[in-house]
Amino acid sequence: MFKRDIIVLQNTSFTNNDRDILSIINKAGYQKLTPVQQKVIPPILEGKDIAVATKDTKGKTAAIILPLLKLIDARGTNIKAVIVTPEASIVKKVERQFKLFTGKLSSSLKIASVGCEKNIKKELSLVHKKIDILSGTASRIIDHLRRDNISLADIQTAVVYQGSRQMTSEFTKDIQFIFSKVTVKPQVILFSPRITEEDISALFLKKPAIIAPSEQNQQSQETNQMSLNEDTVKRAIETILERIKVDEDPDILNNYKKYVRKYVPFALKSYFAAYLLKKSLGSHPADQEETTTLFVSIGKNRKVFPRDLSRLFVSALKIDRTKIGGIKVLDNYSFIEVPVTEAERAITLLNGSDFRGRKIAVNHARKKEE
């Protein structure tokens, strides 16, 4: 009997009208959704493309099957959804889970599993019957497509279930071939241990919801440890951007970007950048040295660039480059931020000194109101 007080999908698009489905879920032993199911089921039901980082998560297979039970219309003989994986063991698991949920459900949905038999001929009786969901290894699905045993032209949902392995270029090419046989772009659901921009692009996901269930309970540990000074963080970001524009070689940075795209999971990209910013600020950003702006009487007309002034002040003051803040070079003069504790020494050392055959003036910059 359906228990009204156990609605395990109450936070998704499943409703009390879906009593058959809810009842079978409870009978299957599910009292509550796992974190990945809580995160994944709602956007699937909304028809969104999603990419799920599945490392160390439980309930992945059910997270795929449960919304498909809701989405797929059993009417018609065409295949409506395909689940593609590189591993035969996952194909078997998908079929077991599907039967677990539909064993006592008054549903005519049919699933066919391919890729578990060594001989493709043993699967012919399966693929020639009515199929609503096709689950199989990429290589075996391609075999059946090339032999015209199946058609994926009308599928509405495509699940790429990567399993525990990293996405390989060979598997990606197989998926692209399979997708080339689809008439209209389906909803694409990617389950992979690690999500990268290359995966998103290669599998044609359209503005996907990026989900990393393993991080959902992670709290910002820094929030209670320190109070970030927004002005300090803003200055740090501006300084970094300035250095990128004037100090760094674009070709070298592009090489690093390749590694970021390849090895930083898409779902963690913003955290990766935030971590690097935190490291650049040090352990206590609120305690970073206060800076002041100095005026320097030389600019673009003398072919001076920010890196030139940076090197000049670093050399004279014997300080680390990271101590120098923003640098702004105008036509006839420039402005440079230095630690307040170093300002007077910089003026003493550099005011009236020779720079490229010309004496320069270095002094405190006037405020606008002055």
The reply to whether 210 and 344 lie within a common domain is: no
Token pair of 144 as six digits: 């059946």
CATH number at residue 321: 3.30.70.330
Q: Please give the Cα distance from 296 to 363 (Å, whole number).
A: 7
What is the span of the domain harbouring residue 255? 230-287
In the three-class reduction of DSSP (H, G, I as helix; E, B as strand; rest coil), residue 134 is classed as: strand
Residue 295 lies in a domain: yes
Question: Does 1 reside within a domain?
Answer: no
pLDDT band for position 109 (cuts 50, 70, 90):
confident
pLDDT of residue 20: 57
| Nearest CA among 334, 337, 327 for reference residue 300 | 334
Residues 140 and 81 in one domain: yes
Query: What 3-state DSSP class applies to 81?
Result: strand
Q: 194 and 259: one domain? A: no
Judgement on whether residues 79 and 164 belong to the same structural domain of the protein? yes
- Report pLDDT digits (tens) over 340-362: 889 999 999 999 999 988 899 99
In a domain, 7, yes or no: no
Q: Has residue 260 been placed in a domain?
A: yes
Domain boundary among 287, 320, 336: 287
2 close to 17: Cβ distance less than 8 angstroms = no
Looking at residue 217, its pLDDT comes to 41
The reply to whether 78 falls in a domain is yes
**Is 224 inside a domain boundary?**
no
pLDDT, greater one: 358 or 12: 358
Are 71 and 146 in a shared domain? yes
Max mean pLDDT among 187-196, 268-277, 360-369 falls in 187-196
Same domain, 235 and 199: no
Least confident piece of the model among 67-81, 155-169, 215-229: 215-229
pLDDT of 13 > 60? The answer is no
Whether residues 196 and 299 fall in one domain: no
Into how many domains does the chain fold? 3
Same-domain pairing of 211 and 234 = no
Query: How many residues are there in the chain?
Result: 370
Section 16-44 average pLDDT: 71
Residues 6+ apart with CB under 8 A from 54: 36, 60, 162, 191, 192, 193, 213
Query: What CATH number does residue 133 fall under?
Result: 3.40.50.300
Q: Are residues 136 and 57 in the same domain?
A: yes
Does 97 share its domain with 75? Answer: yes
Position 223 in a domain: no
Q: Which of 254-258, 284-288, 332-336 has the highest mean pLDDT?
A: 332-336
Single residue among 242, 264, 287 that ends a domain in this structure:
287
Long-range contacts of 223-232 (CB under 8 A, 24+ apart): 226/283, 226/284, 226/285, 226/286, 227/286, 228/285, 228/286, 229/285, 229/286, 229/288, 232/281, 232/285, 232/286, 232/288
Q: Where are the beta strands (DSSP E) in 254-326?
A: 291-296
Distance separating alpha carbons of residues 338 and 327, to the nearest angstrom: 10
One domain for residues 255 and 355: no
**CA-CA distance, 51 to 266, in Å (whole number)?**
9
For residue 220, tell me if it sits in a domain: no
Q: What is the pLDDT of residue 208?
A: 87
- 287: its two tokens: 């305690």
Tokens of 78: 């065409």
Residues 176 and 209 occupy one common structural domain: yes
Lowest mean pLDDT among 26-35, 195-204, 271-280, 337-346: 26-35
Average pLDDT, the chain: 81
